[in-house]
């Protein structure tokens, strides 16, 4: 029965324990809020001071530079291939100016070339002169070049005629 009499005292003890618990909960809540504030502040500071955005900007800049250099390399490669192709073509083609210069060097002063046709290793000349001796000298010079195997392999005189004005014309085929 004695327990029933002290009902007020128990309630005072419970109120004291409850007040202590509320105080501890308040302190715990303040500590949690402070920890949250400090961790959020630290994360914000780390994020603003992080090199990640600068690294991403550098990465993007390097990618742009790499892309432009890759385009330059592709252009260089294409140009290099074209130059190599042109060099190959130039090295395999006949140097016709050398042949024409050699023929012109053999021409006497009064022999002229009216027409030159060049096709598939054959030079066709239409020549004219007022002197048959000059034409003969020209033919002999060409034959000497053939005999020396300097430039030409053979020569054919397709036609030789005297014109009504007294000039001589000849049609020659010179084989390279």
Q: What's the confidence (pLDDT) of residue 53?
A: 74
Question: What local confidence, expressed as pLDDT, does residue 170 receive?
Answer: 93
Q: Residue 21's pLDDT is what?
A: 85
Q: CB neighbours of 150 closer than 8 A, spacing ≥ 6?
A: 102
C-beta neighbour count of 136 within 10 angstroms: 14
* Average pLDDT by stretches of 10, the chain with 176 residues: 53 68 91 94 82 81 83 85 87 77 87 89 91 91 86 88 91 90
Model pTM score = 0.49
| CATH topology (fold) of 96-175 | Gyrase A; domain 2 (3.30.1360)
Tokens of 113: 């070339």
Query: Which pLDDT belongs to residue 15?
Result: 64
Predicted pLDDT at 56: 83
> Domain ranges in the chain?
8-89, 96-175
DSSP 114-153: EEEEEETTEEEEEEEES-HHHHHHHHHHHHHHHHTTSS-S
């Amino acid at each position: 029965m004695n327990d029933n009499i002290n009902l007020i005292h128990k309630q005072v003890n419970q109120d004291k324990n409850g007040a202590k618990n509320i105080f501890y909960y308040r302190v715990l809540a303040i500590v949690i809020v402070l920890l949250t504030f400090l961790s959020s502040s630290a994360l914000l500071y780390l994020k603003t001071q992080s090199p990640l955005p600068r690294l991403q900007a550098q990465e993007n800049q390097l990618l742009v530079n790499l892309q432009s250099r890759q385009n330059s390399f592709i252009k260089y490669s294409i140009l290099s291939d074209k130059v190599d192709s042109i060099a190959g073509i130039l090295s395999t083609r006949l140097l016709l100016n050398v042949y024409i210069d050699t023929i012109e060097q053999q021409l006497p002063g009064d022999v002229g070339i009216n027409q030159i046709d060049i096709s598939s290793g054959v030079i066709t000349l239409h020549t004219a002169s007022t002197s048959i001796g000059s034409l003969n000298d020209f033919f002999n010079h060409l034959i000497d070049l053939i005999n020396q195997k300097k430039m030409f392999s053979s020569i054919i005189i397709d036609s030789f005629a005297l014109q009504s004005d007294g000039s001589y014309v000849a049609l020659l085929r010179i084989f390279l």
